[in-house]
Amino acid sequence: METNYETIVIGGGVVGSGIAYHLSERYKEGVLVLDKKYPMSGTSGSTQAWVWVHNKTPSWYAEFSMYSAELYPYLSKKIGDVEYKRTGGLSPFFNESDREKAEKLAESYRKIGIKIKVLSREEVLEKEPYMNPEVAGATYSSIDGNVNPFRLIDMYMRAAKRNGVRYSTYNKVTEIKKQDGKYSVVSDKGAFECKNLILAGGTWSREIGDMLGVKIPVNQLRGQILVSEPLKPFLNFTISGLRQANNGEVLMGYSMEEAGFNRATTLDVIQETANMAVQYVPGLRKAKIVRAFSGIRAMPEDGFPILGKVPGHENLYVAATHSGVTLSPLIGTLITELIMDGETSIPIDRYSLRRFG
Amino acid sequence: MNKLDKTTIICRCEEISCEEVEEVISNGGRTFDDVKRITRCGMGPCQAKICTSMVAEIIHQQTGLSPSEIPLPRMRMPLSPIKLETLATNSTSFSAVKSVLDEVELEEGKVR
């Protein structure tokens, strides 16, 4: 295998593969993606894969997410059907006291062009007839949706490979050195050299940064999800907490635990998830659960994406974020612009690693 | 096992053929779970009880890995499908499970 590349991307998940694909659209120099296992074996393969905008705060982060969601229909046209559906997103609440918070959210978003409606109980039931009739209301936005994460990453990989990107999988990076203006990336399958190095290691960003003496403050957050047997299509929207996939399966779960890299599923959180699901959609009581799975999400210390040039290191870039599925088309576009043009079409200074001092 | 041809159905639940499994391995996949994520082989109601050994055989034939080097699929609770109500405890207090709106914080009466 060739050992010299213009650009190496460490990490082949939704963020790394998204960057590799977008780079390959404009850039015919050598690009190599290194993955310690096979893409989708980490966070990108264990998610409900909402493309979610409307409850992100502050509003500038919601706006950033909105730009990415806007790219999805175009992305599907370019790389193939990734089962992206802009269903609209519904966040139900069960206490009338939450309505004020919902109204405040809608008000603060009106200024940036994200239209949120605060629905009454009747309006929720009209949109989603299987929702618990005890629901008090919901926030609703038409921009939200979901995607099939497996198809998304598979299609990114296929399209990138067609454009000349190389993938080396089951190949863990063990050491990174800077020599004569180039990066030397030592891996289980040998050493590779490159000019541009992109760190897209997701949950492992901290460990990869350490290899270069760069502190990338990304922690781990576990989420557990239940999957039902295929059911006839009956849910119309992406509900915050559950969604129905194309094949009829319902995916349920929205949990957060600090458990390091431990990917076990646990009975207490499975039970809470079951309680949440029957509270939202009581008709699911009789649905059969086929499996439970858990995933470890990357969570930067302040919750926001870490994007762009690594200060003080020439030709070194980082992309580490929560909500990688939502943000991947935008991050791929922006990192490509940064490398090719030296600037980005929308500002990303706010997301610089510099903010951590 | 030598009787598998390209159209042989390996996963009955999701109707995945031998050819689809082989393609994942030729693209660099090495484990049952790699095959599962890309093709859905083993994701159906039987949860890989039928197809595990056939996929292992295909991995062995294509990569030369010995059967002991091929990891088993990750087994997922509940192993056999059970009703959601069997798992539910009817409690409406949550700790690890959240609602998205709960994460929206107000500061001086405004969204942060």
pLDDT in tens, A238-281: 999 999 999 999 999 999 999 999 999 999 999 999 999 999 99
B-proximal residues of A, 187-216, CB under 8 Å: none
What integer pLDDT is reported at residue A292 of this predicted model?
97
> Among residues A145, A62, A67, A64, which one has the least CA distance to residue A109?
A62
Confidence of residue A191 (pLDDT cuts 50, 70, 90): very high
CB contact under 8 A, A229 and B94: no
Half-sphere exposure of A200 (CA within 13 A, CB side): 30
Q: How many A/B residue pairs have CB atoms within 8 Å?
A: 152
Judging contacts by C-beta atoms under 8 Å, the chain B residues touching residue A272 are: 91, 94-97
pLDDT over 80 (residue B3): no
pLDDT of residue B102: 85
Smallest CA–CA separation between B52 and chain A, in Å? Answer: 16
Do residues A315 and A53 make contact, with C-beta atoms less than 8 angstroms apart? no
B91 contacts A275? CB cut-off 8 A:
yes
Query: Which chain A positions have a beta carbon within 8 Å of B84's beta carbon?
Result: 226, 228, 274, 277-278, 284-289
- Residue range B36-44: mean pLDDT, rounded: 96
Q: Residue A194's beta-bridge partner residues?
A: A5, A183
Chain B residues close to A224, C-beta within 8 Å: 96
| Whether A275 and B90 lie within 8 Å, measured CB to CB | yes
The verdict on B17 touching A (C-beta cutoff 8 Å) is no
Q: What percent of chain A has pLDDT over 90?
A: 96
pLDDT digits (tens, 9 = 90+) for A106-117: 999 988 899 999
Measured between CB atoms, does A269 come within 8 Å of chain B?
yes
Q: Is B30 on the interface with A (CB under 8 A)?
A: yes
pLDDT in tens, B80-89: 899 999 999 9
Q: Stretch A156-176: mean pLDDT, rounded?
A: 98
pLDDT band at B104 (very low <50, low <70, confident <90, very high): confident
Provide ipTM, 2 decimals: 0.89
User: In which band, very low, low, confident or very high, does the pLDDT at B108 lie, cut at 50, 70 and 90?
Assistant: confident
Q: Specify the amino acid at residue A29.
A: E
Which residues are bridge partners to A93 per DSSP? Answer: A137
Residue A138's DSSP bridge partners are: A92, A119
Give chain B positions within 8 Å (CB) of A38: 28-31, 34
Distance from CA of A259 to the nearest CA of B (A): 11
Burial class of B95 by CB neighbour count within 10 A (0 to 12, 13 to 18, 19+) = exposed
- Give the Cα-Cα-Cα angle A52, A57, A61 (nearest 5 degrees): 70
Q: Which among B78, B75, B73 has a CA at the least distance from the CA of B34?
A: B73
Average pLDDT of span A228-234: 97
Name the band, by pLDDT with cuts 50, 70 and 90, for residue B43.
very high
Q: Could you tell me if B41 and B14 are in contact, meaning their C-beta atoms sit under 8 angstroms apart?
A: yes
| Under 8 Å between Cβ of A288 and A168 | no
CA–CA distance, A103 with A99 (Å, rounded to integer): 6
Closest-CA residue in chain B for A279? B92
Helix (H) or strand (E) holding A161: helix A149-162
Return the pLDDT at A236: 97
The whole-angstrom separation of Cα B31 and Cα B100 is 35
Query: What are the DSSP E strand ranges found in chain A?
Result: 4-10, 31-34, 50-51, 89-93, 117-120, 137-141, 145-146, 166-168, 173-179, 182-187, 190-199, 218-228, 238-239, 242-244, 250-252, 288-300, 306-309, 316-320
> In this structure, are strands A306-309 and A316-320 parallel, antiparallel, or unpaired?
antiparallel
Report the chain B residue with the minimal C-alpha distance to residue A282: B85
Across the interface, whether the CB atoms of B98 and A254 are under 8 A apart is answered: yes
Residue B1 has pLDDT above 60, yes or no: no
CA–CA separation, A244 and A240 (whole Å)? 12
Please state the length of chain B: 112
Residues of A in contact with B29 (CB under 8 A): 38, 169
Q: Please report residues of A whose CB lies closer than 8 A to that of B92.
A: 275, 279
Calculate the average pLDDT of chain A. Answer: 97
Q: A269 and B82: CB-CB below 8 Å?
A: no
Q: Is the model's pLDDT at B110 over the cut of 90?
A: no
Q: What is the mean pLDDT of chain B?
A: 91
Out of A55, A255, A278, the one facing B84 most closely (by C-beta) is A278
At A320 the pLDDT is: 98
Alpha-carbon span A294 to A144, nearest angstrom: 23
Mean pLDDT of A309-324: 97
Q: Three-class SS string for B7-49? A: CCEEECCCCEEHHHHHHHHHCCCCCHHHHHHHHCCCCCCCCCC
Judging contacts by C-beta atoms under 8 Å, the chain B residues touching residue A107 are: 111
Global confidence as pTM:
0.95
Query: Dihedral of the CA atoms B44, A15, A220, A94 (nearest 10)?
Result: -70
The pLDDT of residue B2 is: 60
